[in-house]
Amino acid sequence: MPKTLQNMFTKNKKITFIESINQALSLSMKKDKNVICYGLGTTDPKKIFGSTKNLEEKFGNKRVFDIPTSENAMTGIAIGASLNGLRPIFIHQRLDFCLLAMDQIINNAAKWHFMFGGQKSVPITIRLITGRGWGQGPTHSQNLQSLFAHIPGLKVVMPSNPYNAKGLLLGSIFDNNPVIYIENRWLHNSTQYVPNKFYTLPIGKAEKKNSGKHITIVSMSYMTVEAIRASKILNKANIEVEIIDLLSIRPLDMTSIQRSVRKTGRLLVLDTSHPICSVGSEIISQVVEKSFKFLKASPIKLNLPDTPEPTSYSLTKNYYNNFKTIVNECMNIMNFKNKKKIFDILTKEKVKHHDIPGEWFKGPF
């Protein structure tokens, strides 16, 4: 094999989203002895879906350890440790469990830097795993990014593929602010070529997935996967979609969004949460404030229904949005007349099970 090809395969390897997180954790702990990692299930046999695999063996049980069920206490420990020079990473296997620690996160972690004149910061990274399927129901599948994004002093990121999962996690760990890192379990087995080396991605910078002149889709987390699939179908009808993958929920990269909307004149925001006071609502509000004269149609957001998620398979069938609902909404925004061609394509696109992303997905956790 030529040397150039050998080098390429050495530097980049196709790995899963969860393996990229494991790489980021390992590289950060190797780089800085002050990085610690803990959480409920961190060292159990499943290693939090495999994300903490081999970390205890590499770095010892003083830096990688399991804890009792104590969400509020584990957050307080992280804040105290960070104020004394450590960089804690702690993990909740469900975002919902983190609600028990909101006092620590909002009144301590987010406020400390401001309350004490910038003398101390709280460099903690909180990994929150969200997802759905297998009857997760109302208390194990919530997407509450807008709740965290509302709080000054917190940064909130939502990766969408293995490459940005690794870069954003490393960026979060070495950021001097508290960062809420929200990962969707439906992305865990997605694969991509990812550099083996240490690299960071900036928090607060969106990524343009593809260029288009007809409509802007702003997406986040798993909805980026659905947006890309929808854009390929729309392209067959000569509708060119520009996808802006947010990556960061706070800060929001409104510059990239405004630039795209001023070009296309149309906007669809894909949010993974409920509609009231959502991230999608904030994006549309700012677009209307600053780019209203460029709009050719009313901006639309696709959210979950304004009800808690049902548990049963039959009731969740129409609860979540996917590429088909995205395509239909884009056609409405475009006032697209020849819908039959698109409907014929959609009919051929099969969704085997609406509550799992693939056969690899095993529930309930």
Which amino acids are annotated catalytic?
71, 140
Strand-pairing partners, residue 130, are 184
Tell me if 110 sits within 8 A of 151, measured CB to CB. Answer: yes
Specify the amino acid at residue 10.
T
Burial of 10 by CB count in 10 Å (0-12 exposed, 13-18 middle, 19+ buried)?
exposed
d(CA 218, CA 278): 13
Q: In what order do the strands lie in the sheet with 248-250?
A: 64-65, 35-39, 87-92, 125-130, 179-184, 155-157, 248-250
d(CA 190, CA 18): 8
Structure tokens that stand for 332 in this block: 């409405």
Q: What are phi and psi of 245, to 5 degrees?
A: -90, 115
